[in-house]
Amino acid sequence: MGRGGGGAVRAGLLSRRMTGPWQNFIPAAPAPLGYHGFYPAPMPDGSCLELPLRDRGTHAVAGLIVNQASFTVLRALAAWMTATARKHGAEVVVGLPTLGQSLAPLVAEGLGHTNWVAPGWSRKTWYDEALSVSATSSTSPDPRAMWLDPNLLPRLAGRRVLLVDDVLASGVSAAAGVALLATVGVRPVALSVAMIQGDRWRPLWAEDIPVSAAFATPLFDPHPAGWLPRPETAPHALCRP
């Protein structure tokens, strides 16, 4: 292949990576022997969402960045999250920064709430040091502080709180959200996420806080034919309403 042809192929792959994932649902298709680059994650309605595979060395994961998704995908994921979370009887939604806050207002509205609570990464002048915790995540490993505005405490006091995030992967960022709520004496009734990514979060997660999700994806093992899913690492039972 000449230089011009190779450039066109590379440009096509780059374009697909930048504009394809998270934008449209696609019809389900027979599974190949192995996956290369992308994984069609099954959705509750029988369609699929094509997610890029990220090589972690010993395994790969399916990635999702909800604030880069189309409105169609975002609203559908939020609706499925709302359906699975409704059984928990939450009275207020707390959306974890940053990506959980793309979904939290939609879930809160779907549950019939008039507002929601948004912790943040930046400290305002009136914030209290006691209402903060150190937090990291699998995609943002550098420690930083998560803060809760003291003016929002009346929304939380004595209420059934649903914690909302985008992806449950290692469980570290969601656990930080639980710790932040603990600073005001609140224990969430459940965690709702768009995607459960594998099962690495299980050792860290508290058994008394149930998890619900729109969908789940497994971890993937390397193979000459491509990345092969480990089905036992995707907890599908947690995703049913």
Q: Report the alpha-carbon distance of residue 71 to residue 16 in Å, rounded.
A: 18
Domains with residue ranges and CATH for the chain: 49-239 (3.40.50.2020)
Regions in the chain scoring below 70 on pLDDT = 1-19, 136-141, 236-241
For residue 172, what are its two tokens?
Answer: 């570290």
User: What is the model's pLDDT at position 186?
Assistant: 97
The confidence score (pLDDT) of residue 141 equals 64
Q: Is this model's pTM higher than 0.85 or not?
A: yes
CA distance 13 to 217: 23
pLDDT value at position 5?
Answer: 39
> With contact defined as beta carbons under 8 Å apart, do 103 and 123 qualify?
no
Contacts of 168 (CB under 8 A, 6+ apart): 174, 191, 193, 195, 196, 197, 201, 211, 213
- Tell me, what's the pLDDT at 143? 74
User: Within a 10 A sphere around the Cβ of 212, how many other Cβ atoms?
Assistant: 23
Of the candidates 4, 85, 96, 80, the one whose C-alpha atom is nearest the C-alpha of residue 43 is: 80
Q: In the prediction, which pLDDT does 66 show?
A: 96
Q: What pLDDT shows up at residue 188?
A: 98
Helices then strands, each counted (H, E), the chain: 5, 12
Task: Count the alpha carbons within 13 Å of 210 in the hemisphere toward its beta carbon.
Answer: 15
